[in-house]
A and B are shown apart, each in its own frame.
Chain A
């Protein structure tokens, strides 16, 4: 469904991702793991069109989306749930969800999707008129996920979904992400919590210094001595 071919991208003259090739199959949950600064977040930003791609190709659903506008990529069905559970702090929960389907015009379907998301996240339903900046961290993460779902994506990308959340909320967040995959949406996830990310995924990639060093099923990576030593700390 999503293919990266020798992707090179970064900020200004500094290239962070140096020739990365990965595949994300339809309906899969794929994890990207790696240390800080390895280029995971940069990869997601390059896919969703937030930063320019120097060379290489991004192919989504058979279509070349290299350096397409963020708008175009979103409308093709790639949603990005950025790092640090970004929400619009001065808008209400409902307004934040509406922003998620900014490019859609079908009011009826939007209303349906909204009630489905409120069903899925009852906490958000309770607080639908509350200003997003006053929600707790976990609730903001739910809102960010809900907003990403509002665009009816075929592929949803999560950047560090567990970052800064309380342990019990982290588990809940991972459950939600697995659920999204089970409902048929493809998921690409970047996660520091390597063990959890490897255990829940169908396929995983290890990135070091902007390049791919290992690929395989989650189990294979968990059992790999290098991964165990460097990322699972045992």
Chain B
């Protein structure tokens, strides 16, 4: 049973295009899946180390721009007469470049997070995303500013027997996104179940104690930030080469909020949380859209979020786990009440 479950979900994931005939729904699924990857990356930082980055979309956007520019090429003049010309590279090269550039920015933010904690860290990350948006808007030579980067080429892969294959098909692209998503999931799983993950949880639980048992706080915070940013960058690259046009609006605060909502409602600090939250808040607008006016649609969205957070403060996944745990040991007094008390003074 325990081993069958992951296989079942993998099967569902990889047969999805077979029974999702409608190309519009397939499109929504791909966009949702990309956001789920971003939400998973945010969960690594928010759920496992307890650092709230409200500028997470910055890494997503940086990944998107870095990837798009790598495949489109650019020609810029820097102050001091420096002239940089970059000839277009194959689109697939944008993927690693997006990951690396986003990861480097994550390193910077991670180093900073050691100096500023709590509310200040939140403000720094929001500002970081906003500065990135302004750069994208105003550095017209590089980013085309509000005119957007368009005609971003699709990924192309070289297949034996077929040769160069450009991924225009939504179905194939879905599999690419699914593969990246599964890879990110497995990396996060390995990470949080290792000694490193234990150290991160210890940090979140009780920082001064974590230091006194010899955990190197800076190192693990930076590591989490880099991994998290790199994965968000990967999601950004997927997004850029899927929608094929990106503009500075990609750095908008609302996207970060969407990711945070996915993580919080699904259950931060759980592996499945961002996926459950992502599926709900990715598809909800689409499902609701066909029934009600756009204005009402956002109200439903907001109301549902409040209801979930109100009824299940720790998120959907922990609530379900707790439910099964309680059923299993119904004869024993549950630890839930005590755990809920533990939550109270910390928040």
Query: Which residues from chain A sit less than 8 Å from chain B, CB to CB?
Result: 48, 50, 70-71, 74-75, 80, 82, 86-91, 95, 98-100, 102-103, 130-131, 133-134, 147, 151
Contacts and interface: CB of A to CB of B under 8 A. Distances in A.
Which of B199, B201, B211 has its CB near the most chain A CB atoms (within 10 A)? Answer: B211
B271 to A, nearest CB: 16
Contacts of A87: 206, 209
A48 B212 contact: yes
Of the four ranges (under 10, 10 to 19, 20 to 34, 35 or more), the interface on chain B belongs to 20 to 34
A74 B198 contact: no
Interface in B314-347: 335, 338-339, 342
Interface stretch (B15-23, B129-137, B213-221): B213-221
B335 A131 contact: yes
Contacts of B212: 48, 50, 70, 74, 80, 82
Contacts of B213: 74, 99-100, 102, 147, 151
Contacts of B166: none
A91 B216 contact: no
Interface in B195-214: 195, 198-199, 201-202, 205-206, 208-214
A133 B338 contact: yes
Nearest to B211: A70
A99 B207 CA distance: 13
Given A50-B208, A82-B209, A86-B208, A71 B214 contact: yes
Given A71-B214, A102-B214, A133-B338, A95 B208 contact: no
A197 B342 CA distance: 32
A91 B269 CA distance: 13
Contacts of B198: 95, 98-99
B205 A88 contact: yes
A70 B218 CA distance: 13
Nearest to A70: B211
A98 B210 CA distance: 12
A203 B198 CA distance: 39
B202 A99 contact: yes
B339 A133 contact: yes
A51 to B, nearest CB: 10
A82 B208 contact: yes
Contacts of B339: 131, 133-134
Contacts of A48: 212
Interface of B: 195, 198-199, 201-202, 205-206, 208-216, 335, 338-339, 342
A189 to B, nearest CB: 16
Contacts of A103: 214
Max chain B Cβ within 10 angstroms of own Cβ: one of A87, A90, A103: A90
Contacts of B202: 88, 91, 99
Contacts of A131: 335, 339
Contacts of B205: 88-91
Nearest to B195: A102
Contacts of B216: 71
Given A95-B198, A99-B198, A88 B209 contact: yes
A89 B206 contact: yes
Contacts of B335: 130-131, 134
A71 B215 CA distance: 7
Nearest to A103: B214
A181 B198 CA distance: 31
Contacts of B210: 88, 99
B206 A75 contact: no
Contacts of B211: 50, 70
Contacts of A91: 201-202, 205
B342 A86 contact: no
* 9 nearest A-B residue pairs (beta carbon): A74-B214, A88-B205, A86-B209, A71-B214, A103-B214, A134-B338, A133-B342, A134-B335, A80-B212
A90 B201 contact: yes
Contacts of B208: 50, 82, 86
